[in-house]
Amino acid sequence: MNTELPQHSQILPDITEISVEVEAKLHTMIDSFELPGARLYGVNCVARPTTEPNMCLLAQHPDVYELLDAPTSALARMFDAAAVVTTGWAAPLNSDGTIEGAPSEHAQRRRVRLVVMVADNGVASVLRFADEPDEVVTDPGSATGSLAEAITRFWFDPPVTLASGS
């Protein structure tokens, strides 16, 4: 290795910043807040800031948790990051962070599309409501709950390898 030559460094951009860019690009591609299932995209983003994130749809499944657990979803690890897109109902949180009943049955429910990004440098999410499609809400990785845990396991836990029978 020649130490006098500059070395290429693949430093990922801020995960929240890239999640906003990915969600904006997906917003131009997905004109719906009612998808038939969750979608998994592989995202390459190390060439930034010269190019926009490059995305590839890898899989879709009606259940986001089964999508993340599917062996074929491990293909996302070949990319710089993964993005999961899902739609559903959201409802306002109580002061203690809980929701009374199912969001789909709440009097103040709203349709939402959520994009969760995960990469080696963290997790971030961006959501957009159908009734205010020009506004986005970002979360720089402080989300909790079953989806946040599933995304973290999906990316950071070692992949499961199946032993072949001999």
Residues 17-59: tens digit of each pLDDT: 989 999 999 999 988 899 999 999 999 987 656 567 889 999 9
Whether residue 82 contacts residue 66, with contact meaning beta carbons closer than 8 Å, is answered with no
Confidence of residue 154 (pLDDT cuts 50, 70, 90): very high
Confidence of residue 162 (pLDDT cuts 50, 70, 90): low
Q: Which among 115, 41, 49 is positioned nearest to 73, based on CA atoms?
A: 41
The mean pLDDT of the chain is: 84
Return the H-helix or E-strand segment holding 68.
helix 64-69
Q: State pTM to two decimals.
A: 0.82
Q: Tell me, what DSSP letter sits at residue 67?
A: H
Q: What is the mean pLDDT of residues 118-143?
A: 90
